[in-house]
Amino acid sequence: MSARLRNILLWVVALAALILLPQVVEDRYFMHIAVMAGIFTILTLSWNLLAGYTGQLNLGHAAFYGIGAYTSAILAMQTGLSPWLGLFAGGLVAALFGLMLGFPALRLSGPYLAITTIGFAEILRLVAMNWVDLTRGSLGLSGVPLLTPIQIGDFRMQFYFERDYYYVVLAAVLFTLFCIRRLIGSEFGVTLQAMRDDEAGAQSIGINPSSYKLAVFTISAFFAGFAGGLFAHFARLVSPELLALHNTFDVLTMAMIGGLGTIAGPILGAVSLTILSEALRSMEEVLKIDIRLIVYGLLLILTILFMREGLVGVIKNVWARVKGDS
Amino acid sequence: MGAILTTDRLTKNFGGLTAVNDVSFSLEQGEILGLIGPNGAGKTTLINLISGAFPPSKGTITFEGRDITREKAHTVNTLGIARTFQVVRIFSRLTALENVLAAMVDRKHKGPWSLVWDSFFRRACALTEDKEACATADSLLDFVGISKYRNEQAGNMPYALTKRLEIARALATEPKLLLLDEPSSGLNPAELTGQIDLIQKINAQGTSILIIEHVMKVIMGISHRLIVLHYGEKIAEGEPKVVYNDPLVVEAYLGGDSDAQH
Amino acid sequence: MDSLFLQQVLNGLITGSVYSLIAIGLTMIFGVMKISNFAQGDYSMVGAYTAVFVMAWVGGWLGWIGSVVAAAAVVGLLGVVTERLVFRPLMTRWTDIDMIMVSIGLFILLDNLAQLFFGATPRMIGDPFGGTTVDLGVASTSLLRLFCFFFAGITIFCLELFLNRSRMGVAIRATSQNRFAAQLMGIDINQVYRITFGVGALLAGVGGVLYGTLFAIYPTMGALPTLKAFAVTILGGMGNIRGAIWGGLILGVAEALGGNYIAMEYKQAIGFFIIILVLLVKPSGLFGRKEGA
């Protein structure tokens, strides 16, 4: 069997399993977790585009997530725009802010960039807290409309339950995955990685780092905003909390543990950590304490110290050993 | 044949230090021009000025009749000047093939957004599956003699070969002028011969070359003309044999902390 | 000038002196080891809690002095331990991103361990001077706050003495200027790293006691001093100690004035506004050295 055929088969099986999952597992709580895992997958994939493929450490990613969520929610609540369009509008507004953040980022690197991006997110969080007329401040916007039903001929799909949203988020993850895979494999993606590995070397072959950094900040922000919109219509509650630093930290922990600068890494990291954190949350009843973030911090440190290529690297090594033995 | 590159009274100050002082020269179409001088003579600074890594303090640089004095590095490259570095600057986490592919992108006509567009609507699913592009890249890897390392991560290649990869990468931008900064440093005698052949092959295809080199065997063997820098100033210029015996040059090398290998 | 203005300036200077202290630790560690330690504020948090425990035990102004000494010792030790376990292994193969991430991991870990051990209830450090206030003519403040200001000053003065007069201090400065040359001179680089990190953490710990004296103490308090210290450090130029002193005072005063005259809600963001403006104009900070050509 050719490698290509095997790949296609693998995709088909995985996709079929994911589509059938809600038919097998009917637990609403489980579906809720699956939806959140999907949203965080999109966030982590988009963050990784900057950090893993371009070498730009953005610690303000949660801001784009929050901007997308607020945009989509406010548009739906105040102008009655269809939430479906709102998702993309949220992405576009976030992209605009991404472009804006890209400008200072052009001249900064390392800790300077890290702290500037944190500052960007914190300022916007305070705006969300204090622009009460628009955002209702720290209470947040509740009662964000659900996604509107889709009617094609006799087929009508409504979006009430977690499993309905599961399919929406699954489609969104696949869309994101498709886009990012295409981008990374293309001339554009090679250019980003060249800049990441050696900026002066990249300039010497005609790459203008500034224009590419702006582009990639914009694209990364778009997907984060898109994820924010999904969250808004799913959770029906949007609050300044979405822009908080700890959300960015969750995302970067997922990316690092999965494997920075890979496509599979963010997916693995987001899914496994979301499941792990729910498992830890259920242990909370037994232990009487919340050890979720202690585990996150510890895992992040251990990954960087002992598992530089993350879960993807581990799987690769195991796979190579299995192949070597047979 | 006219001059492809001309510098006029080029000067670069770093704080109080004048690294390049009032240097004027021209490089003829199709020529291999050697740039020599003791350590700290300002050779690499000169190449950095021409390639746009930083702007000169004074003077002008003209390439094919166009003033490129203030152009940035990436623009200089799209105009037709490629370079290599004294300490290699390859893309260490990309494969050798991808290093070359990255340089083949038509950046003169395409900015980031049109590449984004392309990645969805033009290219094959992945750049490494684009047969046409890969064939060109492969022929370049073959030309510099490293096709064996095609799919190797550049960071894992032997040092001597990364110098060749850098040359292949530079050639992939289809330069009219190639700036080589010590292409032979760190090579053993057997590798040196290969390097000389390679440079002459590149030149035979019509690419003009400006080369900095410490290894006399290489520089005397391939240069059509030599320029000698000393403390940032041009002290001699001409046929290699003549320059080599110029008393000023001899004194610069013997008087200074010479590390020329004879 | 109205007295409210001067009152705010005085308040700002007092808070700013504490920012300076914490930021100096951060900037030292960056200058010598090129580590941007996002867990710096958590060292302050640990220092503050050390003070809470010592004060509960001893009390009075003796307890306050004792808690500063205890915090210095505990946090200095914590710094040495984390340097050895977390940062040292990365020193040979570090990238900016790895170093920042690992310190973020440490930040998350310490933050949440503190919630586990100390509970979420905010604590206060009692006033050993029983709330005595001092009238300086144009403005007034509590004796305790004034004491904090002078204590920060004295600590910085002692640090300057250490860096300029002791062998180790000179070795630290030499390493910060040129790591390789320092190694060639026979300086034990690992020892320098250990001491630098220990002292850097110690300063954050002492700063934490002062910070906890001025504000409330709670497990997740570390984020604010970390961010403030970074703002100060960038303002003053990364690795520049004098810059950090000025940067801290500037930030303290700017916050006090901005919070009062512009918008209270945005007080915590003033530091960010300032550094974003500064970085746009001068990417290496207000007092920063220009980075290599």
Write out pLDDT tens, residues B44-73.
999 999 999 999 999 999 999 999 999 999
Q: Do C109 and A297 touch (CB under 8 A)?
A: yes
Q: Which residues of A touch C107 (CB under 8 A)?
A: 297
Query: Is residue A42 pLDDT above 70, yes or no?
Result: yes
Q: Do A201 and B89 touch (CB under 8 A)?
A: yes
**Smallest CA–CA separation between B115 and chain A, in Å?**
5
User: DSSP letter string over B25-36?
Assistant: EEEETT-EEEEE
Residue A8 buriedness (CB in 10 A; 0-12 / 13-18 / 19+): exposed
**CB-based contacts of C190: which residues, under 8 Å, 6+ apart?**
C88
For C57-76, give one letter per residue: b (16+ CB within 10 A) or e: ebeeeebbebbbebbbebbb
Chain A residue whose CA is closest to B109: A206
Distance, CA of B160 to CA of B149 (rounded, Å): 13
Residue B230 buriedness (CB in 10 A; 0-12 / 13-18 / 19+): buried
In a domain, C248, yes or no: no
Query: Is residue B253 pLDDT above 90, yes or no?
Result: no
List beta partners, residue B81: B177
Q: Which residues of B touch A208 (CB under 8 A)?
A: 72, 74-75, 107, 111
C76: Cα within 13 Å, side-chain hemisphere? 12
pLDDT > 90 in chain A, percent: 55
Query: Is residue A284 pLDDT above 80, yes or no?
Result: no
- At the top level of CATH, which class does the domain A27-325 belong to? mainly alpha
Q: Which residues of A touch C271 (CB under 8 A)?
A: 119
Distance, CA of C216 to CA of C232 (rounded, Å): 21
Kindly report the CA angle at C90 between C85 and C95, in degrees rounded to 5? 145
In a domain, C108, yes or no: yes
Query: Is residue A236 pLDDT above 50, yes or no?
Result: yes
Chain B: list its partners (3+ Cβ pairs within 8 Å): A
Neighbours of C98 (CB within 10 A): 16
Distance, CA of A59 to CA of A66 (rounded, Å): 14
pLDDT at residue B262, rounded to an integer? 42
Q: A140 near A240, Cβ under 8 Å?
A: yes
Q: Which two tokens stand for residue C124?
A: 């206060």
Chain B residue whose CA is closest to A178: B120
Query: Is residue A240 pLDDT above 90, yes or no?
Result: yes
Q: Of C251, B130, C269, B15, nearest to A128 (Cα)?
A: C269
Query: Is residue A69 pLDDT above 70, yes or no?
Result: yes
Q: Which of A12-16, A251-255, A280-284 has the lowest mean pLDDT?
A: A280-284
User: Which stretches in chain C have pLDDT values below 50?
Assistant: 290-293
Q: Which residues of A touch B120 (CB under 8 A)?
A: 179, 182
Candidate from C105, C106, C276 with C-beta closest to A119: C276
Q: Do A294 and C112 touch (CB under 8 A)?
A: yes
The domain of C158 spans 16-136+144-222
If you ran DSSP here, which 8-state letter would residue A75 be given? I
Q: Which residues of C touch A253 (CB under 8 A)?
A: 105, 108
List beta partners, residue C133: C142
In a domain, C186, yes or no: yes
pLDDT per residue over A201-217, tens digit each?
999 999 999 999 999 99
Q: Do A200 and B72 touch (CB under 8 A)?
A: no
Q: Which residues of C touch A107 (CB under 8 A)?
A: 279-280, 283
A129 touches chain C (CB under 8 A): yes
Q: Do A201 and B123 touch (CB under 8 A)?
A: no
Q: A118 near C234, Cβ under 8 Å?
A: no
Q: Which residues of A touch C111 (CB under 8 A)?
A: 293, 297
Q: Do A207 and B170 touch (CB under 8 A)?
A: no
Strand B225-230 to B32-36 pairing: parallel
Distance, CA of B81 to CA of B77 (rounded, Å): 5
Alpha-carbon torsion, ordered A151, A157, A158, A163, to 10 deg: -160
Q: B94 near A194, Cβ under 8 Å?
A: yes
A185 touches chain B (CB under 8 A): yes
Q: Which residues of A touch B129 (CB under 8 A)?
A: 185
Average pLDDT value for chain A: 89
A122 touches chain C (CB under 8 A): yes
pLDDT at residue A279, rounded to an integer? 86
Residue B261 confidence class, pLDDT cut points 50, 70, 90: very low
Give residue B4's Cα distance to chain centre: 15
pLDDT at residue B140, rounded to an integer? 94
Give mean pLDDT, residues B112-129. 82
Q: Do A110 and C36 touch (CB under 8 A)?
A: yes
Q: Do A249 and C115 touch (CB under 8 A)?
A: no
Residue B258 confidence class, pLDDT cut points 50, 70, 90: very low
Query: Is residue B1 pLDDT above 60, yes or no?
Result: no
Distance, CA of A269 to CA of A40 (rounded, Å): 9
If you ran DSSP here, which 8-state letter would residue C84 be given? I
If you ran DSSP here, which 8-state letter would residue B87 be given? S
Distance from first CA to last CA of chain A, Å, rounded?
18
Q: Which two tokens stand for residue B172?
A: 């992939």
pLDDT at residue A49, rounded to an integer? 95
Q: Which of A15-19, B123-127, B133-137, C36-40 has the lowest mean pLDDT?
A: B123-127
Q: Do A190 and B120 touch (CB under 8 A)?
A: no
In a domain, C262, yes or no: no
User: DSSP letter string over A212-261?
Assistant: HHHHHHHHHHHHHHHHHHHHHHHH-EE-GGGGSHHHHHHHHHHHHHH-TT
Neighbours of A4 (CB within 10 A): 8
Q: Which residues of A touch B91 (CB under 8 A)?
A: 193-194, 197-198, 201-202
pLDDT at residue B6, rounded to an integer? 93
**Smallest CA–CA separation between B4 and chain A, in Å?**
19
B115 touches chain A (CB under 8 A): yes
If you ran DSSP here, which 8-state letter would residue C210 be given? H
**Smallest CA–CA separation between A46 and chain C, in Å?**
17
Distance, CA of A130 to CA of A143 (rounded, Å): 20
Candidate from A193, A197, A208 with C-beta closest to B74: A208
Query: Is residue A114 pLDDT above 60, yes or no?
Result: yes
pLDDT at residue C146, rounded to an integer? 86
Candidate from C107, C113, C272 with C-beta closest to A294: C113
Q: Which two tokens stand for residue C134?
A: 């001092």
pLDDT > 90 in chain B, percent: 58
In a domain, C105, yes or no: yes
Count of CB pairs separated by less than 8 Å, A with B: 123
**Smallest CA–CA separation between C71 and chain A, in Å?**
23
How far from A144 is each of A63, A137, A165, A227, CA to CA, in Å?
A: 19, 15, 15, 15
pLDDT at residue A66, rounded to an integer? 96
Q: What part of B 77-96 touches A (C-beta under 8 Å)?
A: 77-78, 82-83, 85, 89-94
A211 touches chain B (CB under 8 A): yes
Kindly report the CA angle at C55 between C53 and C56, in degrees rounded to 5? 65
pLDDT at residue C239, rounded to an integer? 83
User: DSSP letter string over B99-118?
Assistant: HHHHHHS-TTT--HHHHHHH
Q: A304 near C102, Cβ under 8 Å?
A: yes
B258 touches chain A (CB under 8 A): no
Q: C71 near C201, Cβ under 8 Å?
A: no
In a domain, C268, yes or no: no
Chain C: list its partners (3+ Cβ pairs within 8 Å): A
- At the top level of CATH, which class does the domain B3-255 belong to? alpha beta
**Smallest CA–CA separation between A200 and chain C, in Å?**
13
Distance, CA of C45 to CA of C64 (rounded, Å): 16
pLDDT per residue over B3-44, tens digit each?
899 999 999 998 888 899 999 999 999 999 999 888 888 899
Candidate from C106, C266, C273 with C-beta closest to A297: C106
Q: Which residues of B touch A215 (CB under 8 A)?
A: 112-113, 116
Q: Do A57 and C273 touch (CB under 8 A)?
A: no
How far from C103 is each of A249, A253, A284, CA to CA, in Å?
A: 11, 12, 26
In the block, tokens 């970085």 appear at C279
Q: Which residues of B touch A201 (CB under 8 A)?
A: 85, 89-91
